Amino acid sequence: MQKLSPPQVGSLILLVILSFFGAQAAKAAVDLEEGWEYRWGDSPFTEDGIPEWTQVDEPDQWQAIGFPSNPPGRNGREHVWYRIALPGGEWQEPLLYIFSVDLIVQVWLDGENIYQYGTFDHEGKGRFEGWPWHAIPLPEGFEGKQIYFRVFSDYTDIGLWGEVSIMNRPDLVLFILENSLDALVIAGFSALIALLSLIFALLQTEKKSFGSIALFSLSSALMLLSESQASQLLWESPLAWDYLAAGSYYMLPVAMALLLEQWFSEHRPWLINLVWKIHLVYVVAAIGLALTGAVDLSSTFPPFDALLLASLVTIAVVVVRRFRDLRIEQQVILAAYGIFCSLLVVDMAVAHGFLPWWRVPVSWGTLIFSLAVVLISLWHYARTQQALHQLNLSLEQQVAERTEKAEALARLEQARVRLLTFENEKTRVLNDIIAELQDCITLNQTFPVMARRLPDLCSPLRGRLYQRVDDGRAYVLLTRWGYAGEPESPARIETPDGPPPQNQIPARYSADSGQSWSEWQEDVNGSLCLWINIQSATEGQITMALLFVEVPEEFAGESTDYGAARLFQALSQGLQKIGIALSSIGLREELHKYSYEDALTGLKNRRYFDQLFEHESAVALRSDQPLSLLIVDIDLFKQFNDTHGHEAGDSALKAVADRLARHFRDSDVVCRFGGEEFVIIMAGSSAQAACDKAAELARAIRSMPVEHGGTDLGHVTISVGVASWPECSKSPDSLLGLADRALYRAKAAGRDRVEVSDPGS
């Protein structure tokens, strides 16, 4: 895995949102649940560094196991190998997904180390480097082959953990998000509770329980985030996430014991006080020793789990004795905490192998605790609001409301005038834009027109116009309007995953409408993104430009719904008409391009040469300037094709064409004449200059390697025929035939040479 760039993080957030609203990951996966075998110890290695156990079958040395984790008879051993035959299937980008490994692992297939996590020293050992999930790319033809896992662990568990399955790469991200969605959403909710509790703790310093709730909610949120599989997509640093998970996990009993100590302060709860102090010392000692390298972080979990069980029993004894003395809201919070701790204990039992592996919903315990805090807060808020309601019925507030209504009506009236002005002008401006666009020959000529005229079409709205560049991977700013004195807009928008989403304008008065304009305005957060699309003959629909317009605050009122909807609907329809006009220009431009260009090499074709040569011959006669013509033929090209195949032949043609395009002057014209023949028109060049240029070209081609599919296919040579006017011919029109005969002489003389047409022939 790699660290995500900012645009990729935006795409990840979009995937999370889509999953939250019902998008399910299609887990097209094959779980590896049967056929596992294990072997204690570590394999010796050959001189080539290949484990001998992967080269020799030795079935009597391998034992069957239901799942590759914690085989019987460990007896303090720290090395184990697992293997399984990989099943077949239809895959596009197959990955071997592993939930986790205790502790470090190498993966071998066909005598190759295809994956490694952790560092193995000369004794086959290594330090703990975190508990990430693993995505191991599988090479082609892996079906039916044995895959071997070399595992080292000085932890209580040894082997693979959780789930092992084969799936396609795109399915893996959705699978990870689907399994992490609950934890991420609940972690965010808990973080919000922590923030609010911290604010209340700062505002009401006499109520220290808010600080303890903030600490517990924050620890829960950090634990859920760091233990969720999606955290690895945000930041590829498993050990850092494990440190964060350990610290937040270890702080949970500290926070809860502090809260109970405050609630039971009248009874001097020395036992609760001792619990949180012991746990706080353990947090500092465990994390500190792990950071200094004195111990592995993984080794700090088992002692803590034992300590936590003892602490939970102690807390339960104290709470049961004093439960009736607590207020109702405190009892609710303790009940929620009890549910959370129960799930935590079950998860602990699964982690230590006392229960079969399954995904324990610890996040739901956190959610129940957070909801309990929210419900109690809402209950207190409702009581407070009921008391404040009587204070708000004063004459001063009534006068303020009437004043606000009058000001709102004035703003709405101003907005109505602006909307009517726009509607009266929009049709005329749009027709003018379409007329100017139809006068353009190429798409590049249309962008200055749109940059100049779209502000008029969008008035009175302010906005920005961006043009597509780099084959859609980015958009650059063409113009903006209505932002006088405000900060500059981004000059470039990076879009590696496609353009930003287009806002759909609600049909306010249609039968399917379910959303008001003011509600929609809150959704788009004041900014509207519209696409200007064209239809391409080769690429289909392309978003050539992005139009961002600002939604004014005056449109927030319900009375402007109809006018605002008509304004933006008209703008959207206008952009569709502009897109149709641009599509016509683009298709015409593409048609012109393809009629004169060779599809394989990108050079001009025979049709273009015929027209241009006739023109250049006339110019040469009129200006009395020399004109030279070269015909280039790849030697023994049919034999090259028969030996290496037609795809390799195409690679050779493209390599020669690329060399030709770079070898000649900008004023020279290189065309593909047909098959393996190329022709070059050199206006203003004498026979000697053309011959020298051809000789240089032959030397360059002779030393140029030809590659296909990563394989060096050797070299090719060329034969060149040269003819010049007026040195070799009385008329420029005969140069093609003379150059062709000169080429024939070069072929007959042994190839890989340059021949010039005889003067006067």
Q: Alpha helices of 525-645 — where are they, by DSSP H? A: 561-595, 606-623, 637-644
Contact 85, 144 (CB under 8 A): yes
Estimate the crossing angle of helix 209-227 against helix 362-389, to 10 degrees. 140
Measure CA 11 to chain center.
5
How open is the CA angle 362-363-366, to the nearest 5 degrees? 100
Distance separating alpha carbons of residues 712 and 648, to the nearest angstrom? 10
Contact 415, 555 (CB under 8 A): yes
688 phi and psi, to 5 degrees? -65, -45
Under a CB-based contact definition with an 8 Å cutoff, are residues 187 and 181 in contact? no
Tell me which DSSP letter residue 69 carries: B
Concerning whether 676 is annotated as a catalytic residue, the answer is yes
Q: Is 344 helix (H, G, I), strand (E, B) or coil?
A: helix
What distance in Å separates the CA atoms of residue 630 and residue 326, rounded to the nearest whole number? Answer: 100
Secondary structure element (H or E) that encloses residue 634, with its range: strand 627-634
- Residues across the chain: 761
Question: How far is CA 84 from each of CA 54, 65, 67, 69, 152, rounded to the nearest angstrom?
Answer: 12, 10, 10, 13, 18
Q: What backbone phi and psi angles, to 5 degrees, belong to 87?
A: -80, 165
- Residue 312: predicted pLDDT: 80
SS3 state of residue 724: strand
Is the peptide bond prior to 95 cis by the omega test (within 30 degrees of 0)? no
CA distance 112 to 140: 13
Cα 406 to Cα 78, 392, 396, 410, 563: the distances in Å are 80, 20, 16, 6, 20
Q: What is the structure's pLDDT at 286?
A: 86
Looking at residue 519, what is its pLDDT?
A: 52
Q: Is 327 helix (H, G, I), strand (E, B) or coil?
A: coil
In three-state secondary structure terms, 461 is coil
DSSP secondary structure of 366-389: HHHHHHHHHHHHHHHHHHHHHHHH
User: Residue 698, Cβ neighbours under 10 Å: how many?
Assistant: 18
Distance CA 194, CA 219 (A): 9
Strand partners, 479: 465
For residue range 112-135, what is the model confidence (pLDDT) as tens digits? 999 999 999 988 999 888 888 899
Please tell me what DSSP assigns to residue 666. T
Who's near 452: CB < 8 A, 6+ residues apart? 479
What is d(CA 738, CA 351) in angstroms, rounded to the nearest whole number?
85
Cross-strand partners of 31: 165
- What sign has the CA pseudo-torsion 215, 216, 221, 227? positive
- Residues 6 or more apart whose Cβ sits within 8 Å of residue 59: none
In degrees rounded to 5, what are phi and psi of residue 517?
Answer: -65, -40
Count Cβ atoms below 10 Å from residue 373 Cβ, excluding itself.
Answer: 23
Q: For residue 146, what pLDDT is reported?
A: 92
In this structure, what DSSP letter does residue 325 have? G
Parallel, antiparallel or unpaired: strands 711-715 and 705-708: antiparallel
Single out the catalytic residue among 178, 261, 554, 676. 676
Classify 419 as helix, strand or coil.
helix
* Residue 488 CA, distance from chain mean position: 27
Taking the alpha carbons of 303, 305, 306, 310 in that order, is the dihedral positive or negative? Answer: positive
For the chain, residues with pLDDT lower than 70 are 1-28, 205-208, 263-269, 325, 329, 352-353, 357-358, 363, 365, 369, 372-374, 376-385, 387-388, 391, 415, 418-423, 485, 504-526, 537, 552-566, 590-595, 760-761
HSE-CB for 716 with a 13 A CA cutoff? 29
CB atoms within 10 A of CB 64: 9
Q: DSSP of 91-124, one letter per residue?
A: -SSEEEEEEEEESEEEEEETTEEEEEES---TTS
Place of tokens 């909710």: 189
Note the pLDDT tens digit of each residue in 167-202. 998 888 888 888 888 888 888 888 888 888 788 778
